[in-house]
């Protein structure tokens, strides 16, 4: 049976000061977006369907690839958004200097700690896992999913049956900007996912990084 290839592409580095950018709709520099689109298309992979997070750091890239590629349709899936970090979401780390202890507690125990108004890690896990399961059950051809680092980590945890509460999943597993994680799906009586690669960087021009 022919395998289905699903490529998880993390968006490029966002503009502005470093921050916990979850649902905050920050941008990627247009030149960087163009270079990522070019690098992806040069791979020549036969993906005719692009699925994107609705946030513009992903959506704008999906639209670029869709416009420049041949017969590539773009659809938006809100369930592949990044985690919402509540009152800390989108706030520059420089402006959170008085609250480092709260940040440290979160990184040590992300499942047990949360920020005011944030999405619980358990809810994030359930949202992404359900969206991924629905995708692999319904997808019949190779596709590209443009999404976020946290989302990709949750998908990998789901496939590998890892403990999504383990803080090392977020602090140690590096999913770099403009990197591709390749999952292959075999459908028979059951669905068998195989991880082909994790976090492989696209070949961008140096000045685009």
Region at 44 (left for phi over 0; alpha for psi -120 to 50; beta for the rest): left
**Domain boundary assignment for the chain:** 4-208
What per-residue confidence (pLDDT) applies to 70?
66
What per-residue confidence (pLDDT) applies to 48?
87
10-residue averages of pLDDT along the chain (209 residues): 94 96 97 96 92 98 89 92 97 91 92 93 98 96 97 98 95 96 94 96 70
Report the alpha-carbon distance of residue 171 to residue 86 in Å, rounded: 20
What per-residue confidence (pLDDT) applies to 114?
86
Ramachandran angles phi, psi of 193, nearest 5°: -85, 145
DSSP class of residue 110 equals: T
What per-residue confidence (pLDDT) applies to 97?
86
Which CATH number is correct for 4-208, 3.40.50.300, 3.40.50.1240, 3.40.50.720, 3.30.530.20? Answer: 3.40.50.1240
What per-residue confidence (pLDDT) applies to 208?
47
What are 52's strand-pairing partners? 76, 146
- CB proximity list for 100: less than 8 A, separation 6 or greater: none
């Amino acid at each position: 049976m022919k395998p289905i290839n699903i490529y998880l592409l993390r968006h490029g580095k966002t503009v502005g000061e470093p921050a916990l950018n979850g649902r905050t709709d920050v941008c990627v520099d247009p030149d960087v977006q163009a270079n990522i689109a070019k690098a992806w298309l040069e791979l020549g992979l036969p993906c005719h369907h692009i699925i994107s997070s609705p946030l513009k750091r992903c959506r704008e890239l999906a639209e670029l690839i869709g416009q420049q590629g041949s017969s590539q349709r773009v659809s938006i899936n809100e369930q592949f958004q990044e985690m919402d970090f509540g009152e800390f979401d989108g706030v520059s780390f420089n402006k959170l200097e008085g609250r480092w202890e709260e940040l440290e507690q979160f990184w040590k125990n992300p499942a047990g700690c949360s920020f005011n108004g944030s999405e619980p890690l358990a809810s994030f896990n359930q949202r992404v896992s359900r969206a991924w399961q629905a995708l692999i059950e319904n997808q019949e051809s190779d596709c590209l999913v443009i999404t976020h680092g946290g989302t990709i980590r949750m998908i990998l945890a789901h496939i590998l049956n890892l403990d999504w509460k383990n803080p090392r999943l977020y602090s140690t597993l590096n999913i770099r900007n403009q990197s591709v994680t390749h999952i292959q799906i075999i459908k028979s009586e059951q669905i068998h996912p195989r991880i082909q690669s994790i976090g492989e960087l696209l070949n961008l021009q140096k000045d685009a990084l």
